Structure 1
Amino acid sequence: MNITYRKLEENDLDIFINMRITQLREEGATEDIDLVPSLKDYYNRHMGDGTFVSWLALDGDKIIGTSGMSFVEKPPYFGCPNGRIGLLSSMFTDPDYRRCGIGKELLRRVVEEAREYGCGAVHITASDMGVKLYTAFGFKHNGNFMQYNLN
């Protein structure tokens, strides 16, 4: 196994989006729409303006792991005085490559991107499978997270 890492490029988007959808299915999402056009639009816009970055893990030419970090800004608060937040997403490793440190290395790389962007915090809604990785990395639970769906 010869794993290398590089940033996501526009010509990787079809594979990246397929892996994102696989991840969402694994997490138990209900598919009631075709998400591909929305994902393609999001990644094109936010890669273009620098508010989304992703690192990939490859075995040869095959993408076997993904990560994503979206940069958002909200009103400053005591825990994040500049208001810049990294939203972690798209953490996925091909099942044949799990438990080899790939997810940890991808996480390290995108967290560093958030640090370089000037984020004061990184947030994630973790799947049950991911909680162990994030806790070991140093993420803390925040029991106050709630969501209200507008649709």
Structure 2
Amino acid sequence: MDVVIRDGTPDDAPSLAVLKLAWANRRDATVEESRSFARDLASWMASQGDSLLTQVAEHRGDLVGMAWLVVFDRVPDFSDRNRRTGDVQSVFVNPEFRRRGIGHALVSSLVDAADRRGIPRITVSSNDAAARLYLGTGFEASPRLLERRLNQER
């Protein structure tokens, strides 16, 4: 398999924008909307500094997959004053490249980077189809995780 997993950079934003649009099932986006999104994405990536880890899967010069880890500070505790947490987001592999271990490699590279940084907790929101991927990279289901969404019907 000639797919390389590497750090993504703001220079990758045009290709990442295409992947993000596919991830969001927005194939209806115009060329100008895609270009505008790519510019905004590059600007956002550059502004995040070490609070963002982006991994990409590259095949013969084209990006075919992506995974993001957003790192944020948590409220300090008395015994742990530099609490950090990571959240895995927008993991996507083009359909024609799936079932080759690329998603696993992307998520594993994020987990390894988080471990090197000493980030003790990483979360991910998953659908049923992707849950096996995350379970296979060390994530565990948490019965205590709750969420609230704006305008959620009660």
Query: Could you tell me the TM-score, scaled by structure 2's length?
Result: 0.78
Correspondence 1:38-117 to 2 at 5 A:
39-46=41-48, 49-76=49-76, 82-117=82-117
> Residue type of the partner of 1:106?
L
Note the alpha carbon deviations across 1:31-78, whole angstroms, 9 max, x for none: 9xx7926544432211xx21111111111101111111111011257x
CA contact (8 A) 1:82 1:119 kept: no
> 2:147 maps to which residue?
146
Note the alpha carbon deviations across 1:66-113, whole angstroms, 9 max, x for none: 111111011257xx8852111111211110010110111111111111
C-alpha distance in structure 2 between counterparts of 1:123 and 1:38, whole Å: 25
* CA-based RMSD: 2.5
1:18 Cα shift?
2.1
Query: Could you tell me the TM-score, scaled by structure 1's length?
Result: 0.80
Residues 81 and 92 from structure 1, CA distance in 2 versus in 1: closer, same or farther, beyond 3 angstroms?
Answer: farther
> 2:16 maps to which residue?
16
Could you tell me which runs of 5 or more consecutive residues in structure 1 were left unpaired when the two chains were aligned. none
Give 4+ residue runs of structure 1 displaced > 4 Å after superposition.
Answer: none
Could you tell me which runs of 5 or more consecutive residues in structure 2 were left unpaired when the two chains were aligned. none
C-alpha distance in structure 2 between counterparts of 1:81 and 1:133, whole Å: 32
Number of equivalenced pairs: 140
**Secondary structure, aligned partner of 1:147:** coil
Larger Rg: 2
**Secondary structure, aligned partner of 1:17:** helix
C-alpha distance in structure 1 between counterparts of 2:45 and 2:3, whole Å: 24
> Residue type of the partner of 2:148?
Q
C-alpha distance in structure 1 between counterparts of 2:91 and 2:124, whole Å: 10
**Secondary structure, aligned partner of 1:130:** helix
